[in-house]
Structures are given as structure tokens and as C-alpha cells.
Amino acid sequence: MKTTDALLQIKNLYIRYTTDEGVVHAVNGIDLVVNKGETLGLVGETGAGKTTAALGVVRLVPDPPGIIVSGEILFGAVNLLKVSAAKMRKIRGNSISMIFQDPMTALNPVLTVGDQISEVIRLHDRVSRAEAYAKASAMLKLVGIPEERMEEYPHQFSGGMKQRVVIAIALACGPQLLIADEPTTALDVTIQAQVLELMRNLKAELGTSMMLITHDLGVVAETCDKVAIMYAGEIVEYGSLDEVYNDTRHPYTKGLFGSVPSPDRRERRLRPIPGLMPDPTRLPEGCAFHPRCPRATEQCAQSKPPNLFLGGEHVAKCYYAKEERSGEQ
């Protein structure tokens, strides 16, 4: 992974949750790079560890039961895992912001949207209440909501407008990095397209880098420069959008594409990936995907595959990645 223009580097990150049922191995040695001005799509099934990885970046993993076991998270030259809680609070919301999954629960129901946006500005910028309110009004207008609605409460907004308010809060202080955790999951298709278009325009206008967490491969194709496919807490394939989409090498990534209907393929049935994501308290030996993999061998069941470099920035964690081609199954 090229790190010349890296804004964010995640190195060998491990995160665990200790519960009564056992130790949940949520994130297992991931490496990621987000360069300045680019968008990275983090894709995988529910339970893959995507949100936990994002919470690790902003140091919001609930403790207990969660703990960041080891690794590095470099934001520029700063290791975020080494800074004090007070310094992290200054970074969070100012230099790094996060849009959470559900806009319905991300907003405080007893405060007006104007107060919620201006609160973020006053926490990080040394401005008066009036200046913060004026800037909040401008941010609301920037995301397409009339400034007259500053005095309204979250329940007076639709789901799509709530998400716009959450985006305004996240971008209020001009962060260098925006982490968007499934920002369109709770929205219908029409509103989803509007919100994604808004995020792309704001990203271009403000020069913000973005990590987009999603299940939707179509959203990634429209929005992202780089793609990381996550399975059972590991990055199993990584590369540019073209490399991952047009030269797919990992069997799991192929399974994801095979599960999506395409107007280019005339098929009577989709080809879902057999089985379920493994229990994170009892991950299988060897490759975590081998119980569901059509190419699995005894070697896959006994030892973890290394990262195979396939040219450019393309990497896949599979013994047979160099033999695979996008059209083969």
C-alpha cells in the first residue's frame, strides 16, 4: 500500500471484546491506508468488523468490554493510540469526524438542530455563540436545508434531512478525514442517491478524505477510489476500484459480486455465498473463509494465507490469488 501521501495509516490493528460468552476477535491485524483527498470503501457482511475498525480510529471502542490490543493508527505523524484522552477529544470532531449508521439515534431529540451544529463549532473553534450559530446556519444551507429550520427539532425532519443534519455536524469544523459508517442504510433509494451526491460534492469542495463503510458494492463503485474487502476481522482484498472490480482475485470478493443482480448477466438465480460468517469467539483455524470457499484445500484449513501482491496496489489474502481471474469460479 502506497503511503507517500497517506493521511491515515492503520498498521496491524487488533481489537477484542471480552464478554461472558468468550473473547470476540473483532479486528484481526488489519492494514489500511487512506491518502489525502481520496475515498476508501470498506466493504463486508454484517459482523465483519468494519464499524469496530472505524471506532478504533476515533478511539470510541466501548471499554469495557472492548480493548485495542495492539497496532498503530497514524494520523499524519501522530499515533492516535498514544495521545491522551484530552488531545483525542480535540482531534475527534475537528480533524476527524464520523457519521454514524442511524440518523434517527445520532441526534439529540431535545435540542434544536441549530444548537447541535453550533455546539460542535464552539467546542473546537474559539468563536462566540453568535459566530458559531452563523457558521452553523451556513453549514445547514450547504447541505441543502433552509436556514429558517435552525430552530426546529430532529422529529420535525424526514430521515433524509436528518442525515443531512448529521453530515453538517460532521463537516462543521472542516475535518481532514470523514468516516461515514453506512450513511445511507436507513434511507430509501432516491434519498440515498441525493445524500451520496451531496457527500461527493462536499468532499470535492472541502478537500476532505473519506472512509466509507457500506454493504453496497454499487455505492462503492460510484463513490470510492480504493476498496478494502473485510471478512471476519481481516482485510482479504485491497486495491484501486479498477483492480478489485475488474480483476477480482479473492473467492470471498467473487462471492459478493456473484450475490448481486446484474443487467449484464442473464441468470435465473443469484449465486449466494454458502454458509454464514464464522462466530468471532470461535474463528476457524487457517483461512477464516475456508469453510465457505469453493477453492479451499487442506492447506487453507491449516494455516493463514499471506498477503499476495498482485501488481499496482492490489493485494489479496489467498494462497491461490495469483491463479484466480475475475471470470473464473
CATH number at residue 268: 3.40.50.300
CA distance 172 to 233: 32
Indicate whether 178 belongs to any domain: no
Within-domain flag for 101: no
In a domain, 285, yes or no: yes
User: What's the domain count of the chain?
Assistant: 1
The pLDDT assigned to 328 comes to 47
Q: Look at residue 71 in the predicted model and tell me its pLDDT.
A: 96
- Whether 255 maps to a domain, the answer reads yes
Q: Within a domain: residue 212? A: no
Domain membership of residue 290 (yes or no) is yes
Is 79 among the domain residues?
Answer: yes
Rounded to the nearest 5°, which phi and psi values hold at 240?
A: -70, 165
Q: Give the containing element (helix H, strand E) for 301.
A: helix 298-302
Structural domain contains residue 120: no
User: Can you give the residue range of the structural domain that contains 250?
Assistant: 1-85+225-329
Q: Which helix (H) or strand (E) holds 309?
A: strand 308-309
DSSP string, 237-278: EEEEHHHHHHS--SHHHHHHHHTS--TT---SS--PPSS-PP
What pLDDT score was predicted for residue 216? 86
Instruction: Yes or no: say if 169 and 161 are a contact pair by the CB < 8 Å rule.
Output: no
Residues 6+ apart with CB under 8 A from 129: 118, 122
pTM of structure:
0.88
Quickly count: other Cβ atoms within 10 Å of residue 58's Cβ: 18
- Per-residue CA distances from 79 to 30, 58, 76 (Å): 16, 12, 8
Cell of 147: 436556514
Give me the average pLDDT of each 10-residue run along the chain (329 residues). Answer: 79 95 94 94 93 95 92 95 94 90 84 93 88 92 89 91 89 90 78 80 85 90 94 96 94 89 69 88 94 93 94 94 62
- Model pLDDT, residue 326: 47
232, with CB counted inside 10 A (0-12, 13-18, 19+), is buried
